[in-house]
Amino acid sequence: MANIISDETIEYVGILAKLELDEEEKEQAKKDIGKMLDYIDKLNELDTSGVEPMSHVFPVHNVFREDVVANGDGREITLANAPEKKEDSFVVPRTI
C-alpha cells in the first residue's frame, strides 16, 4: 500500500466529518482509505495539464429567482421533525 494513513489523519478527518470511530473501525478505515487512495492515484497516469476542471456537465447558467416573498410562517414545517424543541426553536447543547 503506497498511501499509509496515520492515526493522526484518521483523528483529523474524524474531526472534519464529525465521526468518532472505535479502535477496530479506525484500523479498518485506515486500511480502506489507504487502499482507495492507492486506487485513486491511478488518475496520476493521466496527463490532465491544460484541462479545465469540469464541475457542471452542461453550460446551464444564470438560473435566478425574482425577489418576491412567497413563503409564509414556516414554524410548523420547520420544527415538525425536531429531536428537541423549545420556544419555537431547536434545542442544542450550549455552544458557549
Partner 1 sequence: MMKQFETVIGLEVHVELATKTKIFCSCSTEFGGEPNSHTCPVCTGMPGSLPVLNKRVVEHAIAVGLATNCKITQNCKFDRKNYFYPDNPQNYQISQLYLPICRDGWIEVETEDGGKKKVGIHEIHMEEDAGKLIHDEWGENSLVDFNRSGVPLIEIVSEPDMRSADEVIAYLEKLRLIIQYLGASDCKLQEGSMRADVNLSVREAGAEEFGTRTEMKNLNSFKAIRRAIEGERERQIDLIEAGEKVVQETRRWDDAKEYSYAMRSKEDAQDYRYFPEPDLTPVIISDEWLQEIRSRQPELRTEKLERYKKEFQIPEYDANIITSNKRLADIFEETTAICKNPKKVSNWLMVETMRLLKEHEMEPEQITFSPENLAKLIQLTDGRAINSSVAKEVFEKIFAEDIDPEVYVEENGLKTVSDDGALRSTVEKVIADNPQSVEDYHSGKKKAIGFLVGQTMKAMQGKADPAMVNQILAELLN
Partner 2 sequence: MSLMGLTAVSLGKKIKAGEVSAVEAVQEALASIHEKEEAVNSFVTVEKERALKRAGEVQKGIQDGTYTGALAGVPVAIKDNMCTKGVLTTCSSKILENYVPTFSSEAVLRLEKAGAVVLGKTNMDEFAMGSTTETSAYGATKNPWNTDHVPGGSSGGSCAAVAAEECSYALGSDTGGSIRQPSSFCGVTGMKPTYGTVSRYGLIAYGSSLDQIGPVAKDVTDCAVILETIAAHDKKDSTSVERKDYDFTSALKDDVKGMKIGIPKDYFGEGLDAEVREKVMAAAKALEAKGAVLEEFDLSLVEYAIPAYYVIACAEASSNLARFDGVKYGFRTEEYNGLHNMYKKTRSEGFGAEVKRRIMLGSFVLSSGYYDAYYLKALRTKALIKQAFDKAFSRYDMILAPAAPTTAPQLGKSLSDPIKMYLGDIYTISVNLAGLPGISLPCGKDSKGLPIGLQLIGNCFEEKKIIQAAYAFELTREYEHCPLAAGK
For partner 2, the binding residues (CB under 8 A) are 9-10, 12-14, 16-21, 25, 28-29, 32-33, 35-37, 39-46, 48, 51-58, 60, 63, 65, 77-78, 80-84, 90, 92-95
Query: Does the footprint of partner 1 cover residue 20 (CB under 8 A)?
Result: no
Q: Which three cell numbers stand for residue 6?
A: 496515520
With a CB cutoff of 8 Å and minimum separation 6, the contacts of 41 are 2, 3
In the bound complex, what is the minimum distance in angstroms from residue 51's beta carbon to partner 1? 16
| Residue 37 near residue 1 (C-beta atoms within 8 A) | no
Q: Which residues, numbered 37-56, are part of the site for partner 1 (CB under 8 A)? A: 55-56
DSSP-assigned beta bridge partners for residue 86: 89
